[in-house]
Amino acid sequence: MPGGEAYQQLRARVKELRLHTVCQSASCPNIGECWNNRALTIMILGNICTRSCRFCDVATGRPLPVDPDEPKRVAAILAELQLRHTVITSVDRDDLPDGGAGIWAQTLEACHELAPQMTIEVLVPDFKGQLTHVDTVLDAQPDVFAHNLETVPRLSKQVRVQARYDRSYAVLEHARRRGALTKTGLMLGLGEQRDEVIEVVDQLADLGLTILTLGQYLQPSRTHLAIDRYVHPDEFAELAAYAQARGIRHVESGPLVRSSYHAEGQSEIIERLQAEAGVIGFASLGRTG
């Protein structure tokens, strides 16, 4: 069970500011480790998702109205924590005309203002493939643009009921064409075959993906998808080595790896890759805005 002084303090502050985290809402197994290191992943746009992915423990239903003050509260807690790097994610908001892209942009702008020393990774939904909404987020200058494929194409419809593999890939492709450092993640143990994972890694390498996460799917409850198998740590290591050999610059691969796992340790990697690639994210602007 998670515990510790830092964990309790962070939990109390999140509650006080009426914020949500994917760490809590998605029942992440790493919450104790991460929060005791003052690393958390804020989840904006509420804690009720309009989609019903069969792997995810975030509540599904009719979301509450958008909170216009949320961006300021998010920036406030991240500034207090004095983080070098953070990840922000959101529920899907298919009920909104822009899918929540406007609040995404406001959140990034508020964070740039209050915590200019911090690099920011955004883990966004697919915005139903509307690339103008993707551009709204990109125009707000995140340092890393992440969107998860989650699984191989054959299983995508079963795992992510209202999403499509090709649509998610197109979102990543668009962000990459715009010069963003891109990141995605896959869960293993859902019934995929090794050659299917290799095929996805090859596609991502050809895309020019920067960061890849590979982790073990764990069933949040008996009503969620069942686990097909537990992947051996050696297989995770082999897949990581293959992905890096194909040119993906950074890979986190292991049973407990999640999208944001150890992301706080990637700030130096991000800034180096931005410099090498000539990418202009907010971190590349001398922190003057």
What confidence category does residue 45 fall into, taking pLDDT thresholds of 50, 70 and 90?
very high
What confidence category does residue 274 fall into, taking pLDDT thresholds of 50, 70 and 90?
confident
Considering the entire predicted model, what is its pTM?
0.88
**What integer pLDDT is reported at residue 69 of this predicted model?**
95
**What integer pLDDT is reported at residue 262 of this predicted model?**
63
Quote the mean pLDDT of the chain: 88
Domain map of the chain by residue range?
5-277
Q: Which sign does the torsion angle of CA 221, 222, 228, 232 carry?
A: positive
Closest Cα partner for 41 from 17, 56, 53, 25? Answer: 25
Three-state DSSP class for residue 103: helix
What confidence category does residue 287 fall into, taking pLDDT thresholds of 50, 70 and 90?
very low
Domain 5-277 has CATH 3.20.20.70: yes
- C-beta contacts of 63-66 below 8 A and 24+ residues apart: 63/91, 63/93, 63/95, 66/93, 66/96, 66/100, 66/103
Mean pLDDT score, 111-124: 94
Q: In what order do the strands lie in the sheet with 250-254?
A: 41-44, 85-90, 119-123, 144-146, 182-188, 211-216, 250-254
Residue type at 182 in one-letter notation: T
- Span 214-263, pLDDT tens digits: 999 999 889 999 999 999 999 999 999 999 999 999 999 999 998 776 66
Backbone φ and ψ of 283, nearest 5°: -65, -20
Closest Cα partner for 36 from 70, 63, 8? Answer: 8
- Highest mean pLDDT among 27-31, 59-63, 79-83, 282-286 belongs to 59-63
